[in-house]
Chain A
Amino acid sequence: MLLNASGCLDALTAPEVARSLDAFVTKTITPEAREGNPPVRLAETDFGMLNSIGLANPGRERFLADTLPRLRELGVPLWISV
């Protein structure tokens, strides 16, 4: 089964990529909206990269009202990271 890692793909921006997966995994949703950590949030190393985004997300209610209906239109199984 081929999945994306949570937070690494915006299915609404790149729907053709999402549809090529067996399931699309969302960026993590929390009960309340979170702005995330103060910048700087990314650091590359010689062996990979570190990130500290801080679970930035619109919160459960906005996700259910705005994002989830649009994701359903993609026609790919959805895994919601919570």
Chain B
Amino acid sequence: MRRRLLSVTSTEQVGPYTLLRVESGDLESGVPGQFFMLEAPGRVLPRPMSLCLALAGELAFLIDPIGPGTRALCALEPGDELHVLGPLGNGFDLDVPRPLLVGGGIGVAPLPFLSEVLGSPPAILGFRSDWHAEAAALVPNAEVCIEPTYVTELLPDGQVDVLACGPEPMLAALRERVPDAQLAWEAPMACGYGACYGCAVEIDGVLKRLCVDGPVLCAA
């Protein structure tokens, strides 16, 4: 676990999202599904972001500007500096024979890195609009649906190993269909490494600290 001051190398619009690229310094990219704490300018709490792309000398994060912290991160410009801590948490178990990636909305964020590591397995991605679906271009071999069609309607009947990230209703629906799916959850965090207990989520009546118990949890 390392915290480093890193420079922004570029930003790129991907539909409504921003792909923020920073120099990696000596930070490791970690396992897909792990996250980094990005310190947003002018905000108290850092924002947990899964790694979207692990490039040569760069880390890239796909960010949805939905609040003051994410908007501040998306407003960064090349040459700006920010503190980055990570990689943190537990990523996806990559030892799966029939991987199927499933993403919804900004939950697509960790899938490009995951797809690269797993050799471009099939993917199913759901978005609320064509504009949001521009992010699907980051994931090879993806089938895309737009609301009111949902990713669960595109799941194949055969045996697959689902690795998913998306909004809670999507994760809940996937759990019903694929009980052993690996699901990446999301919560506001403060420390990112288990000290503050701020990121607890209740899953099946049990409180879990997403930063150290997750963010990837097996549904079963």
Task: Give the one of B188, B195, B201 with max A CB within 10 A.
Answer: B195
Is the CB of B200 closer than 8 A to any CB of chain A?
yes
B137 at the interface (CB under 8 A from A): no
In the complex, whether A1 has a CB less than 8 A from a CB of chain B is no
C-alpha spacing A36/B188, complex, angstroms: 16
Give the dominant DSSP class at A's interface: loop
Complex Cα distance A10/B199, Å?
15
Q: Are A36 and B197 in contact (CB under 8 A)?
A: yes
How large, as a class, is the contact surface on chain B? 20 to 34
Q: Is the CB of B196 within 8 A of A48?
A: no
B195 & A56 in contact (Cβ 8 Å cutoff)? no
For A38, the chain B residues whose CB sits under 8 A away are 202, 207
Report whether over half of chain B's contact residues are helix, strand or loop; otherwise say mixed. loop
Interface residue B33 (Cβ < 8 Å from any Cβ of A): no
CB-CB nearest in chain B for A57: B197
| B56 beta carbon closer than 8 Å to chain A | no
Is A22 interfacial (CB 8 A cutoff)? no
Cβ-based interface call for B177 (8 A): no
Q: Which of A21-77 contact B (CB under 8 A)?
A: 27, 35-36, 38-44, 46, 48-49, 51, 53, 56
Return chain B residues, CB-CB under 8 Å to A78. none
Evaluate whether A9 and B195 lie within 8 angstroms (CB atoms) in the complex, with A44-B69, A49-B45, A49-B190 already known.
yes
The answer to the question of B194 belonging to the interface, with a C-beta cut-off of 8 Å to chain A, is yes
B196, A13: Cβ atoms under 8 Å? Answer: no
